Chains A and B, each alone.
Chain A
Amino acid sequence: MEHIRMPKVENVRLLDRFSSRRAVVGTLYLTATHVIFVENGSETRKETWVLHSQISSIEKQATTATGCPLLIRCKNFQVIQLVIPQERDCHDVYISLIRLARPVKYEELYCFSFNPKLDKEEREQGWKLVDLNEEYNRMGVPNNYWQISDVNRDYGVCDSYPTEIYVPKSATAHIIVGSSKFRSRRRFPALSYYCKDNNASICRSSQPLSGFSARCLEDEQMLQAIRKANPGSDFIYVVDTRPKLNAMANRAAGKGYENEDNYSNIKFQFIGIENIHVMRNSLQKMLEVCELKSPSMSDFLWGLENSGWLKHIKAIMDAGIFIAKAVAEEGVSVLVHCSDGWDRTAQVCSVASLLLDPYYRTMKGFMVLIEKDWVSFGHKFNHRYGNLDGDPKEISPVIDQFIECVWQLMEQFPCAFEFNERFLIHIQHHIYSCQFGNFLCNSQKERRELKIKERTYSLWAHLWKNRADYLNPLYRSDHSQTQGTLHPQIAPCNFLYKFWSGMYNRFEKGLHPRQSVTDYLMAVKEETQQLEEELEVLQERLANLQKSQSGNNKVKSKQQDRSKQSGLYTSNNSLANTPQEYSNDLKSFPSRSPSQGDEDSALILTQDNLKSSDLDLSANSDQESGVEDLSCRSPSGGGCLPSEDSGKDSDEAVFLAG
């Protein structure tokens, strides 16, 4: 609390990004965990809550006659524009937020104060929902070829690896330790995915310290052991996910890649995925495009192309597809690495696993997948997502890209995933929110030291509790798309990769389809279930009646529930009822919709709904908010400068300007 210079500022204006006419006046509060804006006046007292941990940047802009503007950009792609009347207040808010948004100790993070009012047992149960031991057993290990190794039990060999690691049976502790000494950060080859149908596996590691000529007998034995663990194949692929140039440059630093001559029976392959810095810049460029006030189609497409974002997504997908093919079709094991083996390697292994194994396309399986390939193998969540104040060059949207890959696959295979888009968006949100302990720190070791499981709650349990919100209505476990390997199209189908406005323009609800097919179908399915129950009851009654016994056993009809249910279908039609600003010419038209809709509900954590499902864009929030103000997402209202039309609406004279 000592960082809050200014706990409350009145008469703050919250601007609408697209139309300053829709600004609302209210009071701004700073708390230990949130920035809260409460609208004045209106009986609803709408509130906007932003977690400090979501703030990625705060910008103080030049003071104008109306006040001092403050621009807050969030990691979940929300952008909030405030105007604070007094420059001094603005400065105080700014300084406070700068500090609050960059905590220096883990203890400052929200998950240590977040209390969903669960008892100890419930919390522990929550952490047990995802169990990696169970997962490896499900895959079919340990078995004749793979065993669990305790070589890293005290993190003695590799401090960014988990304690429990699966390695080929023929890899002795001596080989593992020897190999680890020849790998960056001692991240030796370990099992990521095992395909029990054909014994092929995906292993992961960091780059070898080969320099220009160094070799390591144990490392060579290690790769040999991986090959031997798959008796059906006489070689393994070694996939270096970096562009060749980057890998070669690493040789000068004593690192590099495997020399095919030194390893018996490997096939070496580069797959050019760019590094975290390129990805960070790419996202930055794409977000700039998303933030354009009223872009033309050309601005948008050109900017999107120029950001390179979709090209990078495709590169990651292509790598995953290559590996999935090697495993499923060729029955060949693959060793994947990049530099340290915790970013690109995590992306590619998890995409490949997702393609190979339908289990990972279920809700539970997806949680397991993230836990396995990201959390346990030391993806540096704290550094990449800037949870604690750190080096900005470490920040990069690595897991965001993986999440987008999943979305792209969902678009191509609409029946293949048990979960829906909302599930992905919420996971992304919580990777940054620090509301749950799952993604804290940079490794399992650090999390154990912090006693995360005793002190915080698990996101997975929270999502699981609300799983009804996250179901894909098209998913059927007996559908052909949910069986076996997915075979997405490979090059040259670039057009299959699309801009994900549901994520990057997540808070611009007006840009999204106004009627959700997913929600509609879920409502229908729910009704169907009720009908099935009713049918059963009715049939029972009929049977009873036919036995011509006492007609007194009246079963309560569920008719009422059903009519309520069908009301739901049309309720979102109300969203349809406000136009955008389609023309500069018409900017003087009185706007009839209320200002600033509830689209920020995603972010709005009112204390009440914190208790239940914390936020966000749950289906209902949309419908209830009657998101009138879709309208303001004006594409062509470009000409209106905020200051220009903030005054009173003038008359039709403006039309002549057109």
Chain B
Amino acid sequence: MEFAELIKTPRADNVVLHRPFHPAVEGTLCLTGHHLIFSSRRQDNAEELWLLHSNIDSIEKRFVGSLGTIVIKCKDLRIIQLDIPGMEECLNIASSIEALSTLDSVTLMYPFFYRPMFEVLEDGWSSFLLEQEFELLSSVTNEWRLSCVNKEFSVCPSYPPVVIVPKSVDDEALRKVAVFRHGGRFPVLSYYHKKNGMAMMRSSQPLTGTNGRRCKEDEKLINATLRSGRRGFVIDTRPLAVAQQARAKGGGFEQEVHYPQWRRIHKFIERFNILQESFIKLVEACNDQSHNMDRWLSKLEASNWLTHIKELLTAACLAAQCIDREGASVLVHGSEGTDSTLQVTSLAQIILDPRCRTIRGFEALVVREWLQAGHPFQQRCAQSAYSNSKQKWEAPVFLLFLECVWQIHRQFPCSFEFNEQFLIMLFEHAYASQFGTFLGNNEYERAKLKLPQKTMSLWSWVNRPEELSRFQNPLYEANSLVIWPSVAPQSLQLWEGVFLRWNRPSKFLEEAEEERINIIKYNKELQAKVNALRRQLAEMETDEEVQEE
């Protein structure tokens, strides 16, 4: 296999592994095509560390005499240090890791080689089909239809082959609208609010340009979601000035004259390179080990991370409010409609739709609003917060979404079926994974790579009962209401589970979680026992009555 030539030194002994909050351990380091494996065979604490090369974000090496030290910074934000005796071994290992962690071909990635050790009960690749979603929708309304206009990915390369659109708009019109929208991303249904029949649509910006081009079909399409005499809201995730500038480059926004029934709200959400910088700064602050940490809050503030969280949550709440409280339909878009748009539409659904707060429902949401909707995972998650290279398309857009979910979860700790670990797991797999789910930038690329045939789906693994049990929130009680989070600064906190995960002691918090689980488990066991006894008693009593008779 071609990896062999990249591995100059496959194995080194007497390597010392350092991690925060763990004593240093000595052991053997092995490199394979996709993993860095460290194993210590000491009798008292034999342990193994398996690290995917694709999880490695950056690597630094330094020498003291002939003792080399490699510092490995991972995409899940963990930092480990390996002391490797022998300069040559150390150099070889470092350069191998560097090469193996930056493979440029997707098909060399681990998901294409991974063979699961578990039995597949349900193929995750077909767990969440839009057709099923549409079936559910059809049971409450007949105003929508499934369109296959994009079957060959010819109308919009970043859309899935099937989409849900208003029934009154035919495929011919959709083709025309696609031409009028950036990247062909014509307005499609994102969410239908059963309670009042309002719809949330998403798209990219309209290509009005400087001369105010219009497209009758586009107007007709989005007007089709309005009840007669009612108005809708366009939530544009750019500030007005940026939206106006976009016209010079052929983009633009819906102008009142052509969309008289729509009111536009500009709710600015930061773009990707700014977000990536913010991410890097935040992680830097969290990893600051200097003893002068006086300025921790200033550094947290300077990263602007929580500001982005607040903006994003506010925009999502606004969209949800338009739908639920105003009884209005909503169209969300920014420029391309692949980043901030998806953040807003997916978070609004968390707020509005109890189903999205279940494990299965949340997975469906990620598939529908992120994977199928064409969020370019491969570009955005190519590097994490430690990358030294100049960023191009990287941005923690999905991580921000997950964190916002966490913030809402923290405010409504009993309303989610999943726990924090579930969100952290998704973060990890979006950046490095043995599963093919997050490879590629859209369904088109995934189809070309034949991912469903050649790789395993994350959902096939996660949805097995033994895995699911780790991700269940013991406090969950289905809550059918809309949940309105607070977005005040006092209500938002740093997501310690991700950002301080490796540099805070977690033992006591884990113990607390265990305690919570046990309290509830014991309660359920007792309930079961009591119910069984009651039944038994009831039976015996009736028997006795029969006998008495």
Chain B 313-337 per-residue mask, 1 if CB under 8 angstroms from chain A, else 0: 0110110111011100000000000
* Residues of chain A with a CB closer than 8 A to B286's CB: 495
From residue A499, how far is it (CB to closest CB) to chain B in Å? 7
Q: Which residue of B lies closest to A476 (CB)?
A: B515
* Residues of chain B with a CB closer than 8 A to A580's CB: 317, 484, 486-488
**Does B306 interact with chain A (Cβ within 8 Å)?**
yes
Contacts A298-B307, A481-B511; is A511 near B516 (CB within 8 Å)?
A: no
A520 touches B414 (CB 8 A): yes
Chain A 407-432 per-residue mask, 1 if CB under 8 angstroms from chain B, else 0: 00000111110000000000000000
Q: Which residue of B lies closest to A579 (CB)?
A: B484
* Residues of chain A with a CB closer than 8 A to B519's CB: 473-474, 521, 524-525, 528
Q: Which residue of B lies closest to A411 (CB)?
A: B509
Chain A 301-343 per-residue mask, 1 if CB under 8 angstroms from chain B, else 0: 1101100001100000000000000000000000000000000
Q: Which residue of A lies closest to B267 (CB)?
A: A583
Contacts A479-B515, A524-B520; is A513 near B411 (CB within 8 Å)?
A: yes
Instruction: Report the bound CA distance from A13 to B170 in whole Å.
Output: 57
Q: Which residue of B lies closest to A310 (CB)?
A: B297
* Residues of chain A with a CB closer than 8 A to B22's CB: none
**Does A214 interact with chain B (Cβ within 8 Å)?**
no
* Residues of chain B with a CB closer than 8 A to A512's CB: 486, 491
* Residues of chain A with a CB closer than 8 A to B294's CB: 311, 494
Task: Give chain A interface residues in 445-499, CB to chain B under 8 Å.
Answer: 473-474, 476, 479-481, 489, 491-496, 498-499
Instruction: Report the bound CA distance from A580 to B485 in whole Å.
Output: 8
Chain B binder among A120-128, A361-369, A390-398, A531-539: A531-539
Chain B binder among A183-191, A345-353, A629-637: A629-637
Grouping DSSP codes into helix (H, G, I), strand (E, B) and loop, the A interface class, with mixed when no group exceeds half, is helix
A297 touches B301 (CB 8 A): yes
* Residues of chain B with a CB closer than 8 A to A557's CB: 534
B537 contacts which of A524, A542, A573 (Cβ < 8 Å)? Answer: A542
A551 touches B544 (CB 8 A): yes
**Does A299 interact with chain B (Cβ within 8 Å)?**
yes
**Does B390 interact with chain A (Cβ within 8 Å)?**
no
Q: Which residue of A lies closest to B533 (CB)?
A: A538
Q: Which residue of B lies closest to A294 (CB)?
A: B488
| Cβ-Cβ contact count across A and B, 8 Å cutoff | 248
A495 contacts which of B292, B307, B321, B500 (Cβ < 8 Å)? Answer: B500
Instruction: Report the bound CA distance from A473 to B509 in whole Å.
Output: 14
Contacts A511-B491, A513-B411, A573-B479; is A494 near B293 (CB within 8 Å)?
A: yes
B486 touches A630 (CB 8 A): yes
Chain A binder among B160-168, B244-252, B258-266, B433-441: B258-266
From residue B17, how far is it (CB to closest CB) to chain A in Å? 22
* Residues of chain B with a CB closer than 8 A to A541's CB: 537
**Does B290 interact with chain A (Cβ within 8 Å)?**
yes
Instruction: Report the bound CA distance from A513 to B296 in whole Å.
Output: 24
From residue A180, how far is it (CB to closest CB) to chain B in Å? 39
Contacts A551-B541, A635-B487; is A489 near B481 (CB within 8 Å)?
A: no
Chain B binder among A55-63, A231-239, A584-592, A616-624: A584-592
Number of interface residues of B (CB under 8 A): 87
Q: Which residue of B lies closest to A305 (CB)?
A: B297
A545 contacts which of B266, B487, B544 (Cβ < 8 Å)? Answer: B544
B516 touches A635 (CB 8 A): no
Contacts A524-B519, A576-B484; is A582 near B297 (CB within 8 Å)?
A: no
**Does A290 interact with chain B (Cβ within 8 Å)?**
yes
From residue A171, how far is it (CB to closest CB) to chain B in Å? 39
B527 contacts which of A295, A297, A310, A531 (Cβ < 8 Å)? Answer: A531
**Does B448 interact with chain A (Cβ within 8 Å)?**
no
B291 touches A492 (CB 8 A): yes
Task: Give chain A interface residues in 526-576, CB to chain B under 8 Å.
Answer: 527-528, 531-532, 534-535, 538-539, 541-542, 545-546, 548, 551, 557, 569-570, 573-574, 576
B318 touches A474 (CB 8 A): no
A585 touches B265 (CB 8 A): yes
From residue B301, how far is it (CB to closest CB) to chain A in Å? 4
Instruction: Report the bound CA distance from A306 to B63 in whole Å.
Output: 41
* Residues of chain B with a CB closer than 8 A to A652's CB: 231, 263
Q: Which residue of A lies closest to B322 (CB)?
A: A586
* Residues of chain A with a CB closer than 8 A to B264's CB: 655-656, 658
A493 contacts which of B304, B317, B504, B534 (Cβ < 8 Å)? Answer: B504
**Does A510 interact with chain B (Cβ within 8 Å)?**
yes
**Does A136 interact with chain B (Cβ within 8 Å)?**
no
Chain A 116-134 per-residue mask, 1 if CB under 8 angstroms from chain B, else 0: 0000000000000000000
**Does B134 interact with chain A (Cβ within 8 Å)?**
no
From residue A350, how far is it (CB to closest CB) to chain B in Å? 21
B541 contacts which of A480, A495, A545 (Cβ < 8 Å)? Answer: A545
A658 touches B266 (CB 8 A): yes
B317 contacts which of A517, A539, A574, A579 (Cβ < 8 Å)? Answer: A579
A301 touches B295 (CB 8 A): no
Task: Give chain B interface residues in 489-537, CB to chain A under 8 Å.
Answer: 489-494, 496, 500, 503-505, 508-509, 511-512, 515-516, 519-520, 522-523, 526-527, 529-530, 533-534, 536-537
**Does B310 interact with chain A (Cβ within 8 Å)?**
yes
B265 contacts which of A514, A578, A658 (Cβ < 8 Å)? Answer: A658
From residue A298, how far is it (CB to closest CB) to chain B in Å? 5
Instruction: Report the bound CA distance from A652 to B260 in whole Å.
Output: 13
B515 touches A517 (CB 8 A): no
Instruction: Report the bound CA distance from A422 to B213 in whole Å.
Output: 61
* Residues of chain B with a CB closer than 8 A to A539's CB: 533
* Residues of chain B with a CB closer than 8 A to A551's CB: 540-541, 544-545, 548
**Does A515 interact with chain B (Cβ within 8 Å)?**
yes
Instruction: Report the bound CA distance from A509 to B93 in whole Å.
Output: 55
B326 touches A589 (CB 8 A): yes
B523 touches A528 (CB 8 A): yes
Contacts A300-B489, A300-B490, A570-B479; is A542 near B297 (CB within 8 Å)?
A: no
Instruction: Report the bound CA distance from A493 to B21 in whole Å.
Output: 13
From residue A654, how far is it (CB to closest CB) to chain B in Å? 10
* Residues of chain A with a CB closer than 8 A to B484's CB: 576-580, 630-631
B492 touches A297 (CB 8 A): yes
Instruction: Report the bound CA distance from A579 to B231 in whole Å.
Output: 20
**Does A609 interact with chain B (Cβ within 8 Å)?**
no
B516 touches A521 (CB 8 A): yes
From residue A435, how far is it (CB to closest CB) to chain B in Å? 28
A531 touches B526 (CB 8 A): yes
B515 touches A415 (CB 8 A): yes
**Does B298 interact with chain A (Cβ within 8 Å)?**
yes
From residue A516, how far is it (CB to closest CB) to chain B in Å? 8
B321 touches A513 (CB 8 A): no
* Residues of chain B with a CB closer than 8 A to A501's CB: 490-491
* Residues of chain A with a CB closer than 8 A to B233's CB: 655
B414 touches A515 (CB 8 A): yes
Instruction: Report the bound CA distance from A481 to B533 in whole Å.
Output: 36
Selected A-B contacts with CB under 8 Å, 19 pairs: A295-B488, A301-B298, A302-B301, A305-B295, A305-B297, A481-B508, A492-B291, A495-B296, A513-B412, A520-B475, A521-B519, A531-B530, A532-B526, A539-B533, A569-B477, A574-B481, A576-B415, A576-B479, A579-B317
Which 4 residue pairs are nearest across A and B when measured between Cβ atoms? A300-B489, A305-B297, A414-B512, A301-B301
Show the binding face of B for A, using Cβ within 8 Å: 231, 233, 240, 263-267, 286, 288-298, 300-301, 304, 306-307, 309-310, 314-315, 317-318, 320-322, 324-326, 410-415, 475, 477, 479, 481-484, 486-494, 496, 500, 503-505, 508-509, 511-512, 515-516, 519-520, 522-523, 526-527, 529-530, 533-534, 536-537, 540-541, 544-545, 548
Known A415-B511, A545-B540, A580-B486; further 4 A-B contacts with Cβ < 8 A: A525-B523, A569-B414, A574-B481, A589-B321
